[in-house]
Amino acid sequence: MWQGIPIAMTPSPFGIHQRYAMLIAFALESAILESKCNSIVLQETDWIVDQSTVLRPDVVLLCDGVPDGHIEKTPGLVCEVLSPSTKNRDLGGKRELYVAAAVEHYLVADPQSSELFYSCSGAELQLLELDELHITVCDDCELIVDLCKIRG
């Protein structure tokens, strides 16, 4: 509670969660540099979807450069790292919000199982068993994401 006003906050993620988020950001950044794409990767930045919805994805890929403030445009890719306390939210309600906001690419990492899941254009999440993920973001940027950099 802040000055009598209830504030809903969750604790900061633990080390393994932060490690996976960093590995995802590194893999995406490496793919961007290889492709010479004009996009950027940010971690833990608020995305103002609309006046009633603010989300904080673990990792996002943005097509329009570094925002001056919070993210206000739909990211090209959103990544979530599952935690026991947020797993149901990330796979349920939060995913539905991403689909409604037209997030084209959704990547989910499960540190407990070392599994990666991927969804494109709102399709069901699929287990990624490949070593590379080939995606097109920002209309014409073709990325090859080395999933081995995430799995370790």
pLDDT in tens, the chain (152 residues): 334 445 465 666 678 889 999 999 999 999 999 999 999 999 999 999 988 888 899 999 999 889 999 999 999 999 999 988 888 888 988 899 999 999 999 999 999 999 999 999 999 999 999 999 999 999 889 999 999 999 86
Cα–Cα distance measured from residue 12 to residue 34, given in angstroms and rounded to the nearest whole number: 32
β 77-81/105-110 pair status: parallel
The model carries a pTM of 0.89
Q: Could you name the CATH architecture of 15-151? A: Alpha-Beta Complex (3.90)
- From the CB of residue 118, how many other CB atoms can be counted at a distance below 10 Å? 20
Asked if residues 73 and 62 have their Cβ atoms less than 8 Å apart, the reply is: yes
pLDDT value for 63: 93
Would you put residue 140 in left (φ > 0), alpha (ψ -120 to 50) or beta? alpha
β-bridge partners, 81: 109
- From the CB of residue 99, how many other CB atoms can be counted at a distance below 10 Å? 15
Give just the sign of the alpha carbon dihedral 109, 110, 113, 118.
negative
E-strand ranges in the chain read 40-43, 47-50, 53-55, 59-62, 77-81, 105-110, 115-120, 126-127, 132-137, 141-146
pLDDT value for 3: 44
Three-state SS at 76:
coil
pLDDT value for 2: 35
